[in-house]
Structure formats: structure tokens, C-alpha cells
Structure 1
Amino acid sequence: MRHVVSAMFLASLAGSAAAEGHMDRGAYLVTSLMACGNCHSPMGPEGPIADQALGGRLVEKNPQFTAIAPNITPASRVSEWSDAELGRAIREGLRPDGTVIGPPMPIPMYRNISDDDLAAIVAYLRSVPEVEHDPGTSEYNIPLPPAYGPPVESVTAPEPAVNAEYGEYVAQLAHCMECHSPLTPQGPDLGENMGRGGFEFHGPWGTVVSPNLTNHPEGLAEYSDAEIKTMVTQGVRPDGEAMQPPMPYGNFAGISEQDLDALVAYLRTVPGKPDM
């Protein structure tokens, strides 16, 4: 019996460690790599308002749409959704009632979130402080698709490593190309013009146009790896000029060194094209 109790105790410790690691991964994804609060938190001139984190806000208003990122804390309607329904909304852009979540929610990238990472994200969102805030409802003057693709059955992430394959997965989680591609009436152009910049963002900071991320002289080709990493995590150009929001430098400062190196490795593979 002593051996049985010992085994059960060790199993309990292992389960607790796994659960803690699961939550840590979810926190890392939501608060750092995916920077969910950059869209889903009320914004001031200096960035997201900390005590209203994930409470929702107006993200973008243009002739194509008025995009409202909803409150995703446990005080919102997502508390009534099952974990599977919340996961489906994040990864496939479909609410429980079957309606489609429109741009700029980066569903084309998020469809590649692995099953394990999706579960960690949902678990973490269930744990965040409640924020009582109703930011309103999105309105679209463009046709939305009935879905962003067939149902996602299962996704496994590439093995973490400093290479372009894993770096592409990191870029998808960070939805780099969603913001750094030109806006079309149907949302960001992730085809021929992916990564060429030109997406205008409007907010308390004024109007900011996303720059070119391709491997072109007008993009990233002439920057060193260290310079790219400093721009991503600190918002400072090589000449010392401070970069503007809405790039979530504060969130990206928490990206792990391995993920950051992998991201740069991927960006070096993006075919070079001039600015839009």
C-alpha cells in the first residue's frame, strides 16, 4: 500500500506540474506572442489600459467595416460558451450561433494554432480577471464568407527550433502578416502582396501605416537580425527613432529568445517585394 500511495502522490505532482505548465503556456501566448490585449483591451495613447485588459474596444473604423474586438474576459458572453465553442471561435472564426467573425481577427493564421496551444489559450482566458465593459458590435459593409475553410480537425505544431518552419508557426501566432499586408475590401491581402505593408491603422496615436516585412531593400533585407529583433521587441529603429503603436512592443518584449530567433529565420525567407 505504501508503494501505491507513493505512486499516486507522484502522479498527482506530475499532473499539477502539467497543469501549471499548460497555464504558463496559455499566459505566454495570450499576453506575449499573440498579444491578444492589443486588440481586445481598451486603448490609450500609450497602449492598452492595464486594468481593463481584454475588455474589448473599437479596433478599426473604415469604409469596409467598423471592427469591435469583444470583451473576452469571464464577465462577457464567452463565459456562456463551452471550451470547445470558445476554441472554435478563436481558431475558425465561428461563434456558437454559426455567425462568422470578420476581419481583422486573423483567422487565416489562427487556423494553424495547434490543439495543445488552443487548449492552453482557452484555459488561460477562463482565468483572467473579469472586466465589466461592453464595447459594442462590429458592422461590415463587405460580404463575409460563410466560413474560413472546412472544419479544423486537428493541428500539431512544428517541433520548436530555430528554423524557418517553426518561425512560420511563430509568425502565424503573432499574426505578423495580417497587419503587415495591404487591406482589401475582403480583409488583408495574404496572397501576392502578403507582407508588403500598407495597412493603415487609426487610433489615439493618429494614422500609422504598417511597413514592408519582405526580404527586399524596402523591407527587412538591409537590417541585421539584431536590428529586427530590437524593432519587434522594443519598437526602436536602428537610427534610434521610436516606432509608433499599434505594434505591441510591450507584449513582444516577452517573446522567448528561441521564438524570436525562429521568427527572424522565417522572415528571411519571405520573397522580397517593394512597398505598396
Structure 2
Amino acid sequence: MTKLNIAGGRRSRVAATWVTLGLTFGVACVTGLSIADSSADSPAASAGDQANSLIERGRYVARAGNCVSCHTAHGGQAFAGGLAFETPFGKIYSTNITPDPDTGIGKWTEEQFARAVREGVRPDGAHLYPAFPYTAYTKLTDEDVSALYAYLKVVKPVNNTTPENEMSFPANQRWALGIWKTMFFDEGRFKENPAQSPEWNRGAYLTEALGHCSACHSPRNFMGAEKSSMAYTGGELNDKVMTGEVKQWSAPNLTNAKNGLAAWSVEELAAYLKTGRNEFVETHGPMNEVILNSTRHLTDEDTMAMATYLKSLPANEGKVGKPASAEALKAGESHYNLHCGTCHQPSGLGALSEDAGANLVGNPLVQASNPASLINVILYGPHLAKLPGPKRWKDMPNNFGEKLSDEEVALIASYMRAAWGNVGGAVTEKQVAQQR
């Protein structure tokens, strides 16, 4: 893949979010994300001309950036903030970005807004916690920032004082974020690559800047910075499972590797971003909010552009552990055939039928470097979104966690990750127990 040309030049350090002074703030540790109502981000009735092109562009930018998911508390009003981000060093609450003058951004100038979005600095000069992805939004164009500001100034104002962050020392010292920025943040706009097509460049902008996809889909070093050599090979995040409890999930590999998107065409990937479904998968888990609140609202051209860019990412299997022993795989095959083979078939290929299960062969989730998501699906079911249109596959039971022991789940998962040409390491009982 041709690297993006970002002003400042240290792209490997850009978007190293959720850390400060070497203390990881829990990559994408968002809990209680809600699916926004389709009208939740509509401008206030008093806004006047809703056909205003700048406001409409801003609405589109807000959707592409998925602003509503993080700035809306579960059961709260759109953009009013208060969503909790659970981190190892305390709790961060998202801010109110409605135009309320007292508790929101109603008194902010466009210049102050732009500085917050692209530099992570509040109007009072304090640094924002990089749980807000200004490390990606720094690449936004002037036009998109201006449009986003215009749009947020006309959404329904909500007087809502969000809770104070509950951070332990030294994470509660905002001045220290200046040191963190010196180490890991480069402010600069997105630059098109003239060697690539306009579609590729549009996809790169949507993926790297507005969509900030690498934030969840890339592993991080001990200081929380994204590992540039392993970009898009998969990451980790926290979200609720069907029980309502917060568990770890693994974001799959998005490169063109065998354990990534190698089997997906550009068209299939675009269909997934647009509808939440394709021939291989149906959205579930933490990706539900991304599809339902963001990418499904994009134009067909933009989802195709993102797919084009993602499919250009060179194959990188990332961290692949050793498969289980031959004895364990044999036992896992027996358990798989007993509990899973009827729907997913002994071949793992499943079938596009409401009486069958999804394809497990070459499935990025099955082969993710961290098996957390696969374990969650086995224990609790896939946590499917409520998508329009007919279902592709039979609903998976959510009681396997009650029927199967940790050892049995580990054996089944290990077998699925190594069978049919899949590339995935062994799963241990301890890993299963951590997801209980």
C-alpha cells in the first residue's frame, strides 16, 4: 500500500489514542453504545433552511465520523454526551456537543471548534483526552470541519452537564497530555496521493480520517500507540455482550491477508459497509453501531471507495499463534461436529439459508489474532443488529455458554481456527474463562 502523505511525516505515531504518559487508557473501551434513531441527529426545527448545503454536508460528515455513537449516552439525547469510557485508569465521559450555551459548545467559535477537533485543545487551552480521536480527525479538511461546525450549531440544544471524569493520578493531570502529544501526535491535513485514483484517495480519507478505522483494527504497543508495521491486522476493544456485561472483543484483520479480507471482493466489502450483510457475514457485536449509525448512511460511491482502499492494504497476517496440538484438534473436531456441524456443516462452509449457519472458512473473526470475539459468539451468540430485510442465516443459540465447559469451548474454537485452511492459534481455557 502506498503510504498516505500526512504533513509532519511521522505517520507511525499518528492516532496513538487513549494513552498518556505511557499509561494505556483502554483502546476503544466504550460501554453502553446505543443505536441512534434515524432522526436522532436531525437539526432542530428552528434551524431554518435544512436544505442549506453546508449544514447538509456537516450532517454527512457527522455520520461518516460516527459522532452520535460516542456523544450519546445509552438512553440519552443525541450528541448530549455522558457516555462512559471505562479505562484502566478511571472513567471518561463523552462531552456534550449540542449548541447549548451553558453545557455544550454553543459559545464556541468555529476556530475554537476546529482546534478541538484537529488538535485536541479546548477553548480554555486544556488538552482533550485522546479518547476523542483528534489524532485521526487532524487529517480533516477545512471544508469538512467548517461544515461539521455548522451542522452541530443547529442540532437540538440539550442542557446536560455530563459527569466529571473519574481518573486516577497522574491521568487526571491534563497538562501531562501535552507531553503525550509531543511523543505521539502529529497535527496535519490529509494529502491526496497523485499516484492513486480519486476513488482510492476518497476511500483513504474516509477510512483514515473520518472513519478512524485503524483505532480499533490495529494492535498497539505498550504505550498504546498503534503499531504501524501491524496496521489493520486486528485490535482489541471492550463492549457489551448479550448478557449486558462488558467483555473484551477482537477487531479482525482488515488487510488482504488469508486471515483478513482476502476472500472478500471489493463489492462484498462495500455491501457489508452499506447494509451490514454480504455473502460471508452479518454485522454483530461492536460493529453494529458503526454500520447502523455511520456507514449505512454513506453514499454507494463512498462505501465503494472505502472498500477500494481497504482492499489495497497489503496482506499482513499479523500476530498468528501456533495451532493446538493434533490431539486437541481431533477432540475439537468431535465437539464441533456435535454442536456446530449441523448448521455450519462439517466443511465449515455453512450455507446461505435461514436453516443453516454462516461460512467459517476464511472468516476474519474466526481467525483474529485475539480469539475474544469468537469466544463471545460461542458463549453468548453473535449479538446481531436489527437490520432491515430478510436474515441470511439461522439465529445462533445463545446458550452454548451454559452447555459447554471452558475446555470444550477452547477445543471447538481451536479447531475452527486451524481447520479448512484457516490461520489461527490455539485457544486456551484461560482465555475462555476471561470471557465468562
TM-score (norm 1): 0.78
Partner residue, 1:33: 64
The reply to whether residue 66 of structure 1 matches residue 91 of structure 2 is yes
TM-score (norm 2): 0.52
Match of 1:103, as an amino acid? P
Once the two structures are TM-superposed, the CA of residue 157 in structure 1 deviates from its matched residue by 7.0
Higher relative contact order (CA 8 A, sep 6+): 1
Partner-residue secondary structure (3-state), 2:91: strand
Q: State the Cα deviation string for residues 66-91 of structure 1 (Å, max 9, x = none).
A: 33211111122422222210111011
**Compared with structure 1, are the counterparts of its residues 59 and 192 closer, same or farther at alpha carbon in structure 2 (3 Å cutoff)?**
farther
Q: State the Cα deviation string for residues 238-258 of structure 1 (Å, max 9, x = none).
A: 345441235421121111112
The reply to whether residue 169 of structure 1 matches residue 212 of structure 2 is no
Structure 1 spans left out of the alignment, 5+ residues: 1-15, 44-48
2:298 corresponds, among 250, 255, 258, to 255
Once the two structures are TM-superposed, the CA of residue 59 in structure 1 deviates from its matched residue by 4.3
- How many Å separate the matches in 1 of 2:199 and 2:79? 32
What pairs with 1:198-209 in structure 2 (closer than 5 Å)?
198-203=235-240, 204=244, 206-207=246-247, 208-209=249-250
Once the two structures are TM-superposed, the CA of residue 135 in structure 1 deviates from its matched residue by 3.0
The reply to whether residue 234 of structure 1 matches residue 252 of structure 2 is no
Partner residue, 1:120: 147
Once the two structures are TM-superposed, the CA of residue 190 in structure 1 deviates from its matched residue by 5.1
Once the two structures are TM-superposed, the CA of residue 131 in structure 1 deviates from its matched residue by 2.1
Partner residue, 2:321: none
Once the two structures are TM-superposed, the CA of residue 116 in structure 1 deviates from its matched residue by 0.7
The reply to whether residue 178 of structure 1 matches residue 215 of structure 2 is yes
Cα RMSD over matched residues?
3.0
* Cα pair 1:235 1:244 within 8 Å, conserved: no
Partner residue, 1:136: 163
* Cα pair 2:295 2:303 within 8 Å, conserved: no
Once the two structures are TM-superposed, the CA of residue 121 in structure 1 deviates from its matched residue by 0.4
Partner residue, 1:3: none
Once the two structures are TM-superposed, the CA of residue 232 in structure 1 deviates from its matched residue by 2.0
**Compared with structure 1, are the counterparts of its residues 157 and 270 closer, same or farther at alpha carbon in structure 2 (3 Å cutoff)?**
closer
Match of 1:38, as an amino acid? S
* Cα pair 2:255 2:316 within 8 Å, conserved: yes
Once the two structures are TM-superposed, the CA of residue 33 in structure 1 deviates from its matched residue by 0.9
Larger radius of gyration: 2
What pairs with 1:92-103 in structure 2 (closer than 5 Å)?
92-103=119-130
Corresponding residue pairs, total: 251
- How many Å separate the matches in 2 of 1:183 and 1:151? 20
Partner-residue secondary structure (3-state), 2:126: coil
* Cα pair 1:199 1:210 within 8 Å, conserved: yes
Partner residue, 1:195: 232
- How many Å separate the matches in 2 of 1:162 and 1:52? 37
Identity of aligned residues (%): 27
- How many Å separate the matches in 1 of 2:90 and 2:199? 37
2:105 corresponds, among 78, 103, 106, to 78
- How many Å separate the matches in 2 of 1:57 and 1:190? 30
1:214 corresponds, among 250, 255, 258, to 255
- How many Å separate the matches in 1 of 2:186 and 2:237? 30
Partner-residue secondary structure (3-state), 1:131: coil
* Cα pair 2:221 2:227 within 8 Å, conserved: no
